[in-house]
């Protein structure tokens, strides 16, 4: 419903100011009441908190991996290496197929 917490709250407040009630069909959230608005804001804040923790967890995980002697992989370099390997395998099989077809044509 919103691209960010601020956008979500702004959208909900605009809907409320236009007398449009928001009721969640799956959760017991109903922003018509004060209690519902409180629950909405609590859940929105928890979602923002969780989103803010992602970079911290990522950095902690990378640090933990480095401490164990594991290094991250350069994805672009790894992708390029795999692409070159695939190209070599395909080239080999294509040349074998050409040879096989040539033998079939000559027989």
The per-residue pLDDT for range 45-54, each reduced to its tens digit, is: 888 898 899 9
Interval 10-33: pLDDT, tens: 888 888 888 887 777 777 677 778
Instruction: Report pTM.
Output: 0.47
Radius of gyration of the chain from Cα atoms? 28
Token readout for 72 is 């991250």
Mean pLDDT, residues 61-85: 81
How sure is the predictor about 74, in pLDDT bands with cuts at 50, 70 and 90? low
Per-residue pLDDT band for 69 (boundaries 50, 70, 90) equals confident
Angle at 22 between CA 17 and CA 28, to 5 degrees: 140
Identify the helix (H) or strand (E) that includes residue 28: none
């Amino acid at each position: 419903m919103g691209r960010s917490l601020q956008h979500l709250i702004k959208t909900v407040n605009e809907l409320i100011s236009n007398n449009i009630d928001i009721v969640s069909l799956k959760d017991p959230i109903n922003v018509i009441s004060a209690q519902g608005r409180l629950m909405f804001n609590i859940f929105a804040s928890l979602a923002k908190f969780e989103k803010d923790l992602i970079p911290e967890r990522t950095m902690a995980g990378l640090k933990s991996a480095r401490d164990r002697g594991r290094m991250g992989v350069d994805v672009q370099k790894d992708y390029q290496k795999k692409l070159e390997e695939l190209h070599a395998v395909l080239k080999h099989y294509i040349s074998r197929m050409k040879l096989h077809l040539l033998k079939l044509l000559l027989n």
